[in-house]
Structure 1
């Protein structure tokens, strides 16, 4: 098929569309030509016709020339009149060439699909598999597990103030050894940069999720304010080492000692360490980590799963002490529905990938840990607001907790 020939989706007649119910959500439209979109293709909501056209044009490396002024209208009716303008509009809409699989890669994928046995009952649906693939891809593009890009930071500062020695041999705070650290250090500047770095990664992760990008900007901001600190902890858990009780971030390594040196109190640090140990010991897969992040992000009531209906994986009895709703949320139904889809996918994945006895109560344990994480977030926010100069050092952190 030449690059100029129509795709099957464009040439075949379409069945008349059934009349839509006024209460139905609006149909998604192709960002290129305005036709009915079938989903996100190459990073853009588009129809099958523009999806196929973009793929063929890039793979064949064809150079199109516009006979006019490169301002031809690209609509459902006129999209085949000028291929140069159509291709340019695909690129302007955000279609990414790097997401196109080669013919050989497609053949290999089809061959693998043909060899696969039918999935047993309880397996993931195609929609759930696609959701996981989207979230994992977003995670890979935005989370730097080696922290190699975290280069602009302040080192720990020695204040050269002698540590007061107690008259009685009182026990030092957990993780602190006064014999090793005779002077007071401050990890506050370093913590400020680390917080900003991790918050930015979470924001980028959210922006890579198509469902998040469709929300109004005010809703996006509300969801990020409500979930960013918790998502940071989920991402931080992926680099936690239960043998050393340390977070190993490439050339950087952190313990709760560093949190104390930044000004955090043991009432927060000790439960935080316990949370990370408990979560890490569950042995979650990468898919489960990204699904947890998405559950936290799409939480209009501030509680993971708090917005789902009784028929979903989290009924009313499971919503524990949900805090007040985020102000200004306009697309609450859409957010609730997407979070329910994420929660169902997580439950199905656990049931399918963690056979008994490993998977027994795993989903319930995760829900309990997310409840603990909500409590940690409240204490974390309280202490951040209490630490002198921290908010002024990190405007992004200040905006998140405002």
Structure 2
């Protein structure tokens, strides 16, 4: 076998130690001489602690693993060059040691196999966590639909009935211009938001707090807690209209029967609305910053909702904001909520379930690919846990809306009633 053939063979041998355990293990700078310290051939980098070519790297590795002792047929003074380096293995090995190549840096066969196994597993994992072209298309469609149907500045929210906050506060804001501030009376001391989102709610449960009105308005004719109801009904209707537009802009949704479209919308609208409101929730101030209008939890109370809904909503928004979701992730979880195959009245269960599974896998793959924080593996299960909370809150919301409708039948808009009604014959 020629020297060149032998060199080609050695290049193919994997020097696994160089990548993980070489003391230096680095490529040679382009401006440095690339000369092997053993034979003078072109050096590719530091191998086993010395600057060598690929041929001498492989030779040293094989020589270490041999049980036969090498002997020089001459006087142990052979000059090793690129052309004669195969002539005397003993002198070549001695030269390797002389330039600093270290025996303890060569991996055993077992270590080589283990490392190759790790490399293969990593390659397979990376291959699995790459977004497919189909998943990229899904994300782009959802992102485009979300951006075209969610107005962060709420600039299209016009012609609404004003919110009256004066009845529970001495605020000087005009009812004709919904306030960007909530009452100066806050639940936490010194005007600061509590570190624990539940603390301020518990503090508000005292008899002299406006939260005490939450459980006192059933059929008692007390209109004080309904001062914000007309405005909040208009805001909810505006949000529902955008959510319907979002849903109908998705190909998978349009492909379903009208009956299933209605069933999915009736089940998911309130959940998607909460997800969208979370995007404008400021967890520091405990306020929803909807363009030129800012809402606080007191406004939900003034709309007539009870603590059994208000407290979970408050906790939910703090929990979800802590996840620091990206816009793509918000778009995906809205679609996951929409395509829930277990909604009442759904007929095409398998079709919707397949869409939901694809969305869940897309979200998980996105997190694996795009997130860099060390705890990213916890994000997906935390998001999934939020869906359980959303489902519970949606049921309570429908219940309370129907109760409020009984007391103020002319305030809740027809579109809201279509969403919460059990009759699925309505047409959005």
- Please state which band the TM-score falls in when normalised by the shorter chain: 0.5 to 0.7
Alignment deviations for residues 282-322 of structure 1 (CA, whole Å, 9 cap, x no partner): 011111111101111111203xxxxxxxxxxxxxxxxxxxx
Aligned residues: 249
Bigger proportion of residues as helix: 2
Seen in structure 2, the aligned counterparts of structure 1 residues 251 and 356 have a Cα distance that, compared at 3 Å, is closer
2:200 maps to: none
2:156 maps to: 149
1:335 maps to: 352
Residues 159 and 184 of structure 1 are in contact (CA less than 8 Å); yes or no, is this contact kept in structure 2? Answer: no
Alignment deviations for residues 256-281 of structure 1 (CA, whole Å, 9 cap, x no partner): 10000010112211111110010011
Residues 281 and 288 of structure 2 are in contact (CA less than 8 Å); yes or no, is this contact kept in structure 1? Answer: yes
Q: Which residue, out of 209, 215, 231, partners 1:172?
A: 209
Query: C-alpha distance in 2, partners of 1:135/1:265?
Result: 34
Query: C-alpha distance in 1, partners of 2:158/2:141?
Result: 28
1:347 maps to: 364
2:339 maps to: 298
Query: C-alpha distance in 2, partners of 1:172/1:145?
Result: 32
2:144 maps to: 137
What's the secondary structure of 2:289's corresponding residue?
strand
Q: Which residue, out of 282, 298, 318, partners 1:277?
A: 318
Seen in structure 2, the aligned counterparts of structure 1 residues 344 and 161 have a Cα distance that, compared at 3 Å, is closer
Alignment deviations for residues 3-44 of structure 1 (CA, whole Å, 9 cap, x no partner): xxxxxxxxxxxxxxxxxxxxxxxxxxxxxxxxxxxxxxxxxx
Query: C-alpha distance in 1, partners of 2:226/2:259?
Result: 40
Greater Rg over alpha carbons, structure:
2
Query: C-alpha distance in 2, partners of 1:190/1:337?
Result: 39
2:379 maps to: 362
Query: C-alpha distance in 2, partners of 1:343/1:190?
Result: 35
Seen in structure 2, the aligned counterparts of structure 1 residues 215 and 361 have a Cα distance that, compared at 3 Å, is same
What's the secondary structure of 2:155's corresponding residue?
coil
Per mean C-alpha deviation after superposition, the further-off stretch among 379-388 and 251-260 is 379-388
Q: Does 2:418 match 1:399?
A: yes
Structure 2: gaps (5+ residues): 1-124, 171-205, 214-223, 422-428
Deviation at 1:353, TM superposition (A): 1.7
Q: Which residue, out of 365, 374, 388, partners 1:371?
A: 388
Deviation at 1:391, TM superposition (A): 7.1
For 1:3-402, what aligned pairs fall within 5 Å after superposition? 120-121=126-127, 122-157=129-164, 170-174=207-211, 186-302=227-343, 326-327=344-345, 329-387=346-404, 388-389=407-408, 393-402=412-421
Q: Give TM-score, length-normalised by structure 2.
A: 0.55
User: CA RMSD, aligned part only?
Assistant: 2.4
Residues 192 and 390 of structure 1 are in contact (CA less than 8 Å); yes or no, is this contact kept in structure 2? Answer: no
Query: C-alpha distance in 2, partners of 1:220/1:150?
Result: 25
Deviation at 1:251, TM superposition (A): 0.6
Residues 188 and 390 of structure 1 are in contact (CA less than 8 Å); yes or no, is this contact kept in structure 2? Answer: no
Query: C-alpha distance in 2, partners of 1:171/1:332?
Result: 50
What's the secondary structure of 2:242's corresponding residue?
helix
Seen in structure 2, the aligned counterparts of structure 1 residues 175 and 244 have a Cα distance that, compared at 3 Å, is farther
Structure 1: gaps (5+ residues): 1-118, 164-168, 177-182, 303-325
Seen in structure 2, the aligned counterparts of structure 1 residues 362 and 184 have a Cα distance that, compared at 3 Å, is closer
